[in-house]
Chain A
């Protein structure tokens, strides 16, 4: 059904979005849990940081990543010298850019499910000798995991289509960083490739819709399971 080229592009997109979700999920969970707690010092700052990628232009995110992790930057240079790790213009870089862009989506979905948990259950756990970490692992996370999963799936679906930050920080190398939107854009620049662009656009649309439907189904199933 799909040509070798299309498989390669889809594969690149899935790989980049998958790694982006895996890397950022633990951090997103930590942010979301912190933001779901009652007031604490620094909460507004944390809130702003978590939502920044939502309002900044994606190209600016890519530019900031280049400044921070490019080969000539302090962190980028150190990473390359110490570990031989390159981020700029690599698949890992594309995953990092995608992770940053999808981060607010994940934090919002996960935070909502942490906030939906009945605070009385935490009190019940603490009088059964469960400390703060224990309560997080044994009550908060199990109750919120459908939201965590839904957030991850939504972020994954969105990550398949990340354009600006990826092209700025990771370029568009076939088989490495050329994801679906980059390939669509490239195909549109070349006369006679409209058919390819249309097919890639269809794949992109299907993947995004599938992601949203999956996230919704997970949420519904979880509600049925927990509601009395």
Chain B
């Protein structure tokens, strides 16, 4: 089963989104791109909140919208959930009322999951009888996610649902998303502009820039592509590594910034860093300001390290040379 978007055009004001991609409807697909790239619009389009001007969208072979054939399934019949950035809980209902709203409207043949389980999993049991206006930003996000899960959609879209959360809570929310997606086998499509979030969540990636899909495919494949890397801020440059290669790592991936990687020409000893990867230098690139971006081929995949020209000269690093990449677990 997969989501197929073919030649889709959506317009709002002066902005036009042209989308063409295919994403498997399983695991987590991250929609990545800078602000204003059209990420939210892409989700609205798939959910049916935005009409196509041209093109076609289908999910698992079922046509959701086909402009040429004048077919359009309205949002409420698509079976696609959407968690909005601003939660959009119904203010005239309690938290439980919001959850029941979703539960009562799902088709009988998708009669799972149940409120108590989801509430426990998302840690909102204590909030069930509260009024929506008395919730914090993080609580609202969790209730909105619970409500969407209880509607038992075939595909769940999330528009930066963790934007309101800070560091620690954000990481917990991301971990929970992965957990939920796997446990209730609910395919998700998550919008983010944060590279760490993208690396952590993504099985697949759809990368957007200026209203166009510039790359799509598996996370490990797309995230090292030239056009993907070009989307990143200079200080975000780095590489995605499978979590399984990292000490204490879980599922998903981690983003290793080039600035947090130290190079050694000998196997390091007596280091507190837990992650040391041997590898060979694949390429050395000089940046505009003279910094050297060294790309290593290691067993964990490609890793980049940004070092000064002086360090490069001192260590005598050349393409093909053997080096060890050292990364502090904390920065993973």
- Note all chain B residues with C-beta closer than 8 A to A120: 84, 86, 88
Inter-subunit contact A127/B91 (CB<8 Å)? no
Main secondary structure of the interface of A (DSSP, over half): helix
CB distance from B94 to the nearest CB of A (A): 13
Determine which of A127, A138, A227 lies in contact with B82 in the assembled complex, contact meaning CB atoms within 8 Å.
A127
Contacts of A143 in B (CB 8 A): 91-92
How would residues 130 to 165 of chain A score, 1 for a CB under 8 Å from any chain B CB and 0 otherwise?
110010001100110000000000000000000000
Total interface residues in chain B, CB < 8 Å: 30
Most chain B CB within 10 A, of A126, A143, A226, is at: A126
Whether, in the assembled complex, B15 has its beta carbon less than 8 Å from a beta carbon of chain A, the answer is no
The one of A127, A130, A139, A227 in contact with B47, judged by C-beta atoms closer than 8 angstroms, is A127
* A22 at the binding interface (Cβ < 8 Å): no
Min CB gap A146→B, angstroms: 10
Nearest residue in B to A124 (C-beta to C-beta)?
A: B88
- A166 to B171 CA separation, bound complex (whole angstroms): 69
Q: How far is the CA of A121 from the CA of B47 in the complex (A)?
A: 15
Would B92 and A142 count as touching, CB distance under 8 A?
yes
* Residues A126 and B76 in contact, CB atoms below 8 Å apart: yes
Alpha-carbon gap, A123 to B262, bound state (A):
49
Q: Are A127 and B90 in contact (CB under 8 A)?
A: no
In the complex, number of A-B residue pairs with CB atoms less than 8 Å apart: 72
Decide yes or no whether B80 CB sits under 8 A from chain A: yes
| B49 CB–A CB distance under 8 Å | yes
Chain B residue numbers with a CB within 8 Å of A126 are 48-49, 74-76
**Roughly how many angstroms separate A227 CA and B133 CA in the complex, as a whole number?**
7
Complex Cα distance, B76 from A148, in Å, reads 27
> How far is it, in angstroms, between the C-alpha of A228 and the C-alpha of B133 when the chains are bound?
5
B84–A226 touching, CB < 8 Å: no
Residues from chain B with a CB closer than 8 A to the CB of A227 are 133
Residues of B within 8 A of A39 (CB): none
The residue from A121, A124, A129, A139 contacting B105, defined by CB atoms under 8 A apart: A129
In the assembled complex, which residues on chain B have CB atoms less than 8 Å from the CB atom of A118?
Answer: 88
Decide: A127 and B49 in contact? CB cutoff 8 A. yes
In the complex, whether B56 has a CB less than 8 A from a CB of chain A is no
B231 at the interface (CB under 8 A from A): no
Closest residue of chain A to B50, judged by CB? A123
**Contact (Cβ within 8 A) B49 A123:** yes
Q: Mark B62-96, 1 if CB is under 8 A from A, else 0.
A: 00000000000011111111101010111110000
B147: interface (CB < 8 Å):
yes
Task: Please tell me if A190 contacts chain B, counting CB pairs below 8 Å.
Answer: no
Judge whether B101 is part of the interface by a CB distance below 8 angstroms. yes
- Proximity bits, A96-128, B CB within 8 Å = 1, else 0: 000000000000000000000010110111111
Question: How close is B64's CB to chain A, nearest CB, in angstroms?
Answer: 13
Whether the Cβ atoms of A130 and B133 lie closer than 8 Å is: no
Q: B102 within 8 Å of A by Cβ? A: yes
Tell me the smallest distance from the CB of A39 to a CB of chain B, in Å.
15
The verdict on B106 contacting chain A, using a C-beta distance below 8 Å, is: yes
Within 8 A of A (CB), among B147-171: 147-148, 151, 153
Chain A's nearest CB lies how many Å from the CB of B274? 43
* Minimal beta-carbon separation of B77 from chain A (angstroms): 8
User: Given A123-B75, A124-B84 in contact, is the A129-B92 Cβ separation under 8 Å?
Assistant: no
Between A and B, 9 residue pairs with Cβ closer than 8 Å are A118-B88, A120-B88, A128-B105, A128-B147, A129-B151, A131-B77, A142-B92, A143-B92, A227-B133
**Which B residues lie at the A interface, using CB under 8 A?**
47-49, 74-82, 84, 86, 88-92, 101-102, 105-107, 132-133, 147-148, 151, 153
Q: With contacts A128-B81, A130-B105 known, what are 15 further pairs, Cβ within 8 A?
A: A120-B88, A124-B82, A124-B88, A127-B81, A128-B76, A128-B101, A128-B148, A128-B151, A129-B105, A129-B107, A131-B74, A131-B77, A143-B91, A226-B91, A226-B133
